[in-house]
Structure 1
Amino acid sequence: MLLRWAEATRAKVHLAAESLGNLLVETFHYLSLFAIGAVTAWAGLVAFLGMVEKGSISVDDILLLFIYLELGAMVGIYFKTNHMPVRFLIYVAITALTRLLISDVSHHHRPDMGVVYISGAILLLAVAILVVRFASSRFPAVAPSSRHPQRRDADAETLD
């Protein structure tokens, strides 16, 4: 009798601790997403206002805005689906390398091996996107019973 009571009490304590832990983790998760989204939007706005104040916009500036756009899209997709598409991280990396390449060539006016290395890295990342897209269509992720609806393409390749 005492053993049954102890086991039932242990199960209730375990359930309460698990519920409280899940609440705290999800609260931190959503607060962090809001913070990252807000910081990304703020940085994009500051960059845009700096471009307006400067009076001219370069290709570097436009690519910087695309980086902010991709980061915002990543936050939005992660917020909605609780999955991080790897593809978006690769897009950000490609955009950042493209921005570096354009900036380097436009400021130094002399191509060197650095241009070849950056171009090779961009090509490698493009191939990685191709591999991820192929793998996600060929081997779709099976979502465990979760409270989030399963989405086909954006969720197929995730970090979870």
Structure 2
Amino acid sequence: MKDVKEAGYKALSFVEHMGLFTIAILTVIAMGSEIWIVFENREVTLADLLLLFIYLEVIAMVSLYLKSGRLPVRMPLYIAVVALARYLILDMKNMEVVKLLGVAGAILLIVVAILGIRFGHIKYPYGNTDN
């Protein structure tokens, strides 16, 4: 039974790593595509820079997960804040006030969650979680 468990763990670990490498490769391809678009347009906008920043955050998240085997919940929250800010910047002129306030409120809510998580980690550290 121990051999079956170990083989299952190795198989799942392989699938996990292949998924992470796939995400990393596709993110690099998307980043290259965005850079190509910037060169074709001969113009760099704030929306382009924010999109590239999102891609970098995804790559950093994959790298951190591969390195440590853990994913801090703050990383996807940072990506969400940047994505919402990008959405706000791109569509601000066409947005109704209620939708604009909703997106701004969502950003504020996520930032408060990040601060709460960070405060919790400092005030109440996990200690040794490798057990």
Interval containing the TM-score (normalised by the shorter chain):
over 0.9
State the shift of 1:86 in Å. 0.9
- Aligned partner of 2:112 in structure 1 is 127
Identical amino acids, percent of aligned pairs:
34
Stretches of structure 1 lacking an aligned partner (at least 5 in a row): 1-13, 146-160
- Aligned partner of 2:82 in structure 1 is 95
Q: Computing the radius of gyration over CA atoms, which structure comes out larger, 1 or 2?
A: 1
Deviations 1:84-138 (A, max 9, x none): 1111111111001101111112x43x76222111111111111011001011112
* Structure 2: distance between partners of 1:16 and 1:116: 56
Q: Which runs of 4+ in 1 moved over 3 A?
A: none
Stretches of structure 2 lacking an aligned partner (at least 5 in a row): none
TM-score by length of 2: 0.92
Are 1:86 and 2:79 an aligned pair?
no
* Structure 2: distance between partners of 1:85 and 1:74: 9
RMSD: 1.4
1 or 2, which has the higher helix percentage?
A: 2
Point out which structure has higher relative CO (alpha carbons under 8 A, 6+ apart).
Answer: 1
- Aligned partner of 1:54 in structure 2 is 41
TM-score by length of 1: 0.76
How many residues are treated as equivalent by the alignment?
130
